[in-house]
Amino acid sequence: MTYSRILYAVGLVLILILEWQVNTWPTLLILCLYIFLPIASILLSLFTRNRVTLKLQIPSGLEQGQTGDIILEAENLSRFAIPRVVARVSISNYLTGTTVEHRSEFPAAGRSVNRKTIHMVDAEIGRVDVVVTDLYITDALLLARFHVQANQHGSFLVEPPDIPVSILMGEATELEGSSQKYSDTESGHDVSETFDHRTYEPGDSIRSIHWKLSSKYDDLIVREYGKPVEYSVVLLAELAESSSAALESCVGYTVGISRCLLENGLLHTIAWYDAGADEYCSFNITNFETMESAILRMIVSCPHPGISESLARFLDDLEPSGQKKTLFYFTTNFDNGAMLQAAGQCTARAAIIGTRGRDTADDALSVDTLPEDCRLVSALRLDMKGDI
């Protein structure tokens, strides 16, 4: 716009010089038109600016790596065309900390609805906030701009993909004596606690048959196990500040393992530290609905600037009851000392996202390295026979 004003000023000076030198009616007419037309265009833009409204349309939700469209819909209620509508849009991801600014400009015909599409490519996991930070119209010669109130913003979630996970494990049961609290209304998998007895039904495990009671009642009686309110297996995600790909993978691997554990009938806990809310978040995963709730809460969390804040909160949260936990720890910044401390209090296994921290890993610990971009993984294999 500054460039247009300079050109206009230079043209005006040249016409004035021409009029002063020639001083004829054609040059006078040119001078009048050169002054009058921009003024008329500016006044027309000033009149129509309050007749422009903008609506923002965003995706309802995406999966990591997908492409989504953000649509700007400008409606011109006046009968006069607007030469240029300019909108500045800010797209921010709360989890990865990335922000992208877009500038969109398009004409708006009179009494019409005009659309401009912003293509969001390779969506990152997290909550995406879309805000129209500025909206204005210009005259035909780009000499003046008039700001219009937009007040348009929205957000949507980008969820992690479904990572194929193969888990080698024994029968999906909780560790014996692994919980101090049990449900009074639902049965579960903890073999150390009896919830109820009932007659045998096709599909029941032979291991659950209570042989003494079966011989007494002359019928097969099975034992229903207790459902622990606390679970021995904990998936801990360390959302420390790192690259966007590493943070996405930290969430993606945690969710992928959780989904596979649930499919194998193993109830567990997902935990992490949210620096934005200064909260240690812990979700007991009993079904796919509770897993979805945990995912939606995790991807709107804010990374912390430390190294092992989530692990420290987890160790502080361990009850001094002697309960043995099995910890699967996903991190982008490996802290060997903190992991050794965890290994002294529970069965611990770490997965380092990317290559950082690998040189400090202790040989006595069970440590895996995973790609920094979880979309590069065709399948993930995890042996848990020794842990559960």
Mean pLDDT over the full length of the chain: 81
HEC assignment per residue over 171-188 = CCCECCCCCCCEEEEEEE
**Regarding predicted confidence, which is higher, 375 or 150?**
150
**Among the listed residues 68, 264, 267, 259, the one whose alpha carbon sits nearest the alpha carbon of residue 186:** 267
**HSE of 172 in the Cβ direction (CA atoms, 13 Å)?**
13
Summarize the confidence of residues 269-284 as an average pLDDT. Answer: 90
Summarize the confidence of residues 12-27 as an average pLDDT. Answer: 86
In the chain, domain spans: 2-48, 49-159, 165-170+230-383, 183-228
> What digits encode the pLDDT tens for the residues 308-339?
899 998 888 775 545 578 888 988 888 888 88
Topology of the domain comprising 49-159: Immunoglobulin-like (2.60.40)
Torsion angles phi and psi, residue 386, rounded to 5: -85, -10
Tokens of 30: 């040119």
> What digits encode the pLDDT tens for the residues 89-124?
999 998 888 899 999 998 988 889 999 999 988 888
Q: Specify the pLDDT at position 387.
A: 41
Give the ranges where the chain is alpha helix by DSSP (H): 2-22, 25-48, 211-217, 244-263, 288-298, 309-317, 336-345
Burial (CB < 10 A; 0-12, 13-18, 19+), residue 45, is: buried
Summarize the confidence of residues 190-197 as an average pLDDT. Answer: 64
Summarize the confidence of residues 198-209 as an average pLDDT. Answer: 78
> What digits encode the pLDDT tens for the residues 23-61?
888 888 888 998 998 899 889 888 888 889 999 999 988
What is the CATH number that goes with domain 165-170+230-383? 3.40.50.410
Residue 265: band (very low, low, confident or very high) from pLDDT cuts 50, 70, 90: confident
Q: CA–CA separation, 39 vs 35, rounded Å?
A: 7
Residue 369: band (very low, low, confident or very high) from pLDDT cuts 50, 70, 90: confident
Fold: same for 49-159 and 165-170+230-383: no
- Letter string b/e over residues 252-288, b meaning 16 or more CB atoms within 10 A of that residue's CB: bbbbbbbbbbbeeebbbbbbbbbbeeeebbbbebbee
